[in-house]
């Protein structure tokens, strides 16, 4: 029981990225075990895949509406889950340096939903894709939302890649999306449509939040906000209002200066005071 207890402790103490990784691994192992038992009894299709993967027709979605989310926690094979979770680990931990953990979960789930919706639409309204795979599994749509979301927020952030050197984040994001676009002509076009759906959500959400133009996700974002709303008051002092506005203006100027420094030189170049200030503002 020591190993199980250790896993439980790691899960409880882990951040949202680690929790998602543990959940995906647990579901993958459970799916493998059910496949083994089903093979012993000569079953044709794994019941976990049958009930929790996303089918390409609307009728199935009406009878199993949970599949628009649950497919994002299933994986086809070991390589599939390995590549997805490695990507989730690196981009997810970068994401929560600038956003909250609840916001990361929002990106993962809503990216999965929008990706699933595009998968269904592609199979029903694009004749070229109607003879391809009829079910969808994988966390790629949710991960794409996280990846493109943080890329949109800090496009000039530089990552150090072994044997290559420093590479701007938007280069990697462009390659990520470009590969999915090129793969639309292949045998898994519906799956790559799902990836693009997640990427689209990440881009629209962050771009809208930055420019205050796209407000389609505002109410949903507020549900996951960690900031407490101020209490309503009947009387307000004009002097206090002016002071508050000045404080907010100074804070925003400091935030803008720090973000500009990050976009040019990377997060690691910040001083300890700047990191603490940015952390406090994000709480």
Q: What is the distance in angstroms between the CA of the first residue and the CA of the last residue of the chain?
A: 37
208 in a domain, yes or no? Answer: yes
Could you tell me if 127 and 20 lie in one domain? Answer: yes
Task: Please give the angle made by the CA atoms of 218, 224 and 227, to the nearest 5 degrees.
Answer: 90
Domain-ending residue, one of 223, 252, 270? 223
Helix (H, G, I), strand (E, B) or coil at 212: coil
Could you tell me if 277 and 193 lie in one domain? Answer: no
Residues across the chain:
283
Q: Can you tell me the distance from the alpha carbon of 198 to that of 211, in angstroms, rounded to the nearest whole number? A: 20
Number of separate domains in the chain: 2
229 in a domain, yes or no? Answer: no
231 in a domain, yes or no? Answer: no
Between helix 169-182 and helix 189-211 the angle, nearest 10°, is 140
Q: What does the pLDDT read at residue 25?
A: 96
- 135's enclosing H/E stretch is strand 135-136
Q: What does the pLDDT read at residue 38?
A: 65
Q: What does the pLDDT read at residue 241?
A: 47
* H helical segments located in the chain: 2-13, 16-40, 47-52, 58-63, 67-70, 78-95, 101-125, 140-153, 169-182, 189-211, 218-223, 238-265, 272-282
Helix (H, G, I), strand (E, B) or coil at 227: coil
Could you tell me if 139 and 253 lie in one domain? Answer: no
9 in a domain, yes or no? Answer: yes
Could you tell me if 243 and 109 lie in one domain? Answer: no
99 in a domain, yes or no? Answer: yes
Could you tell me if 246 and 110 lie in one domain? Answer: no
Q: Can you tell me the distance from the alpha carbon of 283 to that of 270, in angstroms, rounded to the nearest whole number? A: 18
Structure tokens at 207: 């771009």
Q: What does the pLDDT read at residue 132?
A: 56
Going 224 to 228 to 232 to 236, the CA torsion angle's sign is negative
**Domain carrying residue 108:** 2-223
Q: Can you tell me the distance from the alpha carbon of 243 to that of 237, in angstroms, rounded to the nearest whole number? A: 10
232 in a domain, yes or no? Answer: no
Could you tell me if 73 and 50 lie in one domain? Answer: yes
Provide the pairing of β-strand 158-161 with 135-136: unpaired
Q: Can you tell me the distance from the alpha carbon of 203 to that of 110, in angstroms, rounded to the nearest whole number? A: 12
Could you tell me if 28 and 139 lie in one domain? Answer: yes
Q: Is residue 176 within 8 Å of residue 148, measured between CB atoms?
A: yes
Could you tell me if 177 and 254 lie in one domain? Answer: no
Task: Please give the angle made by the CA atoms of 220, 177 and 212, to the nearest 5 degrees.
Answer: 35
Could you tell me if 133 and 176 lie in one domain? Answer: yes
| Closest residue by Cα to residue 193 from 126, 148, 147 | 126
Q: Which residue has the tokens 């900031």?
A: 227
Could you tell me if 268 and 129 lie in one domain? Answer: no
230 in a domain, yes or no? Answer: no
Domain-ending residue, one of 175, 190, 223? 223
In tens digits, the chain (283 residues) has pLDDT values of 577 888 888 898 899 999 999 999 999 999 998 887 665 555 556 788 889 999 988 888 899 999 999 999 999 899 999 999 999 999 999 999 999 999 999 999 999 999 999 999 888 877 665 555 578 999 999 999 999 999 999 999 998 888 888 999 999 999 999 999 998 887 788 889 999 999 999 999 998 765 544 444 455 445 444 444 443 444 444 444 445 555 566 677 777 777 777 776 776 677 777 777 766 665 5
């Amino acid at each position: 029981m020591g190993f199980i207890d250790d896993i439980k402790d790691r899960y409880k103490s882990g951040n949202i990225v680690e929790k998602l990784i543990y959940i995906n691994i647990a579901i993958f192992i459970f799916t493998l075990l059910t496949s083994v038992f089903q093979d012993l009894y000569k079953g044709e299709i794994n019941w976990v895949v049958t009930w929790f993967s996303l089918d390409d027709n609307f009728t199935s979605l009406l009878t199993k509406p949970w599949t628009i989310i649950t497919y994002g926690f299933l994986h086809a094979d070991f390589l599939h889950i390995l590549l997805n979770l490695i990507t989730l680990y690196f981009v997810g931990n970068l994401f929560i340096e600038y956003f909250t953990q609840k916001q990361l979960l929002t990106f993962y789930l809503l990216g999965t939903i929008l990706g699933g919706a595009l998968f269904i639409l592609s199979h029903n309204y694009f004749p070229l894709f109607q003879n391809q795979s009829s079910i969808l599994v994988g966390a790629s749509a949710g991960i794409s939302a996280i990846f493109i979301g943080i890329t949109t927020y800090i496009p000039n952030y530089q990552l150090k890649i072994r044997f290559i050197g420093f590479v701007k984040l938007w280069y990697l994001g462009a390659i990520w999306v470009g590969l999915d676009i090129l793969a639309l002509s292949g045998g898994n076009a519906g799956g790559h449509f799902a990836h693009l759906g997640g990427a689209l959500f990440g881009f629209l959400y962050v771009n809208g939040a930055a420019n205050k133009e796209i407000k389609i996700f505002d109410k949903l974002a507020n549900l996951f906000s960690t900031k407490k709303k101020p209490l309503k008051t009947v009387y307000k002092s004009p002097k206090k209002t002016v002071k508050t506005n000045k404080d907010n203006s100074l804070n925003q100027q400091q935030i803008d200066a720090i973000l500009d420094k990050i976009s040019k030189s990377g997060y690691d170049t910040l001083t300890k005071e700047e990191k603490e200030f940015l952390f406090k503002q994000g709480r």
